[in-house]
Structure 1
Amino acid sequence: MDNEATEPVVRRIAAVGDIHIRETDRGKWSDYFRDISEQADVLLLCGDLTDTGRVEEAEILAKELRTCTIPVIAVLGNHDFDRDQQKGIRKTLIKEGVQVLDGDSVVIGNVGFAGIKGFGGGFDQGMLGMFGEKMMKDFVQEAVDEALKLDAALSRLDSEHTGLKKIVVMHYAPIKATVVGEPEQIFPFLGSSRLAEPINRRDVVAAFHGHAHIGTLEGETSRGVKIFNVSKPILTKAGYLLPFYIFEV
């Protein structure tokens, strides 16, 4: 079920991915989240919230987020699945009021947010097809399933609300442009063009992802939807003194 909140009008969205919280990070993030709260109306966390996928790391993040006074929306990333503790990580963050999206959506004021983790599979002419061994088909199917989940979440926003501006939150990239800078050999593991299909079709304002640490900050889909790779290492390299991206709705 989608979640709805009646909040003030959202004008500024802060977004960051790949914060990779460690068990040694206690007390290191409180000021960061406090500063974000002063500059934005909503915070998006675009996956790889933990460094090694341990619930203990999520517990540290949950405590650090107590200084954040604005709504927090998150998706999980591949690191958060590494120890098969993703359910515990999700539960820990939800207890602290974080909206952790996985094929669902939340409405805050005038903006509807839809979120998925996403998956790999490659881009454009290099996108893997549903062919060959079962293992390869399963790999491709995962990206298809994630795209379908996103489409369903956006469809519900369309059917249940009018006049919303729609924002997508994910971990894997939906376009090639924002992973450029990474070795081309690993592009199939950084995202999939299949994820861009619902973004193009559902009149999305912008989408935010992480995962590609040495990719490119900004790109757009074939239909001109803005895509932002807000991986924290990219924002740091780009000169952001406080590494989070502000998007004005």
Structure 2
Amino acid sequence: MMGKKVKTTIAALADIHIRVSDKGRWADCFEEIANKADVLLICGDLTDTGDEDEATVLAAELKSCNIPVIGVLGNHDYEKGRHKLIRQILQDSNMVILDGEGIVIDNIGFAGVKGFGGGFDEYMLSMFGEESMKSFVQEAVNESLQLDRALARLEQDNPNILKIALLHYSPIKETVIGEPEQIFPFLGSSRLADPLHRRKVYAAFHGHAHAGQLDGVTSGGVRVFNVALPILRNEDQAKPYYLLDVPHK
């Protein structure tokens, strides 16, 4: 008789920027991940130029990964306005793309949005001034609200469920440090941290800041991991993914 499962191992990465020329490049890595983890998270910039042919290549590479794969889209996936088609191609290949939704696997609730910019802490942009500035800030507000609603829905059926958040943009400044300070407002927003605190999220993963830091903690104590591929390769050239063991309650 098998014992009760005591943990779920999550593998996470982001900013893989798949190109059409990448056929065969990722299959072995995804197979390795499937042997080490229970769930794979890919946190945005799945494609390099937002082209559906790139998404088709990724879908083929993921056939070697026989564990659940969950992701969110990133800014590169929106480049050509074909993000809906990219999402459909990947979901048809059994990858779950979250955009304000949640899914439960191994009694862990995963919720995800792309997120957006706006800056951090006392330097966060406010909804004031020109309409174009208000629209920029409103996008981050909308993404934050979407994430909050997704996390809330996960709690409805199980108030004590352990929750993981997927983002592309960062919810904290700490994991983008290393990038030029001038572009911090375009790398994430503190507004995205609000639902993490409100819903008592266990951990959050993001990408986008290629020269940032691997890990950090929000002001409310939520662990945040920047799993952008360039950062992971700097940490461990042989293992371009991050593993996190999540204990079961």
Under TM normalisation by the shorter chain, which class is it?
over 0.9
For each residue in 1:7-43, what CA deviation from the matched residue of structure 2 results, as whole angstroms up to 9, or x when unmatched?
Answer: x775100000000000000011100100000000000
Q: What is the root-mean-square deviation of aligned Cα atoms in Å?
A: 1.0
AA in 2 matched with 1:148: L
CA shift at 1:185, angstroms? 0.1
Residue 237 of structure 1, aligned match among 228, 234, 249: 234
- Residues 132-170 of structure 1: CA deviation (Å, up to 9, x unaligned): 000000000000000000000001111122432100001
Residues 1:10 and 1:86: Cα distance change in structure 2 (over 3 Å) = farther
Instruction: Quote the residue 2:191 is aligned against.
Output: 194
2:219 match: secondary structure: coil
Partner Cα distance (2:232, 2:204) in 1: 16
In percent, how many aligned pairs have the same letter? 59
TM-score normalized with structure 2 length:
0.96
Partner in structure 1 of residue 41 of structure 2: 44
Q: Match of 2:50, as an amino acid?
A: G
| Gap runs ≥5 in structure 2 | none
8 A Cα contact 1:10 1:111, kept in partner: no
Gaps of 5+ in 1: 1-7
Matched length:
242
Counterpart residue identity of residue 138, structure 1: S
In structure 2, what is the Cα distance between the partners aligned to 1:43 and 1:93? Answer: 14
With normalisation by structure 1, the TM-score equals: 0.96
The answer as to whether partners of 1:217 and 1:230 remain within 8 angstroms in 2 is yes
* Contact 1:10 1:108 survives alignment (8 Å): no
How far apart are the structure 2 equivalents of 1:77 and 1:239?
23
1:14 alignment partner, SS class: strand
> Partner of 2:211 in structure 1?
214
- Structure 1 residue 48, shift from structure 2 partner: 0.1
Of 63, 74, 82, which residue of structure 2 is paired with 1:77? Answer: 74
Q: Which amino acid aligns with 1:163?
A: N
Alpha-carbon distance between aligned partners in 1 of 2:215 and 2:23, rounded to the nearest angstrom = 31
CA distance in 2, matches of 1:43, 1:198: 23
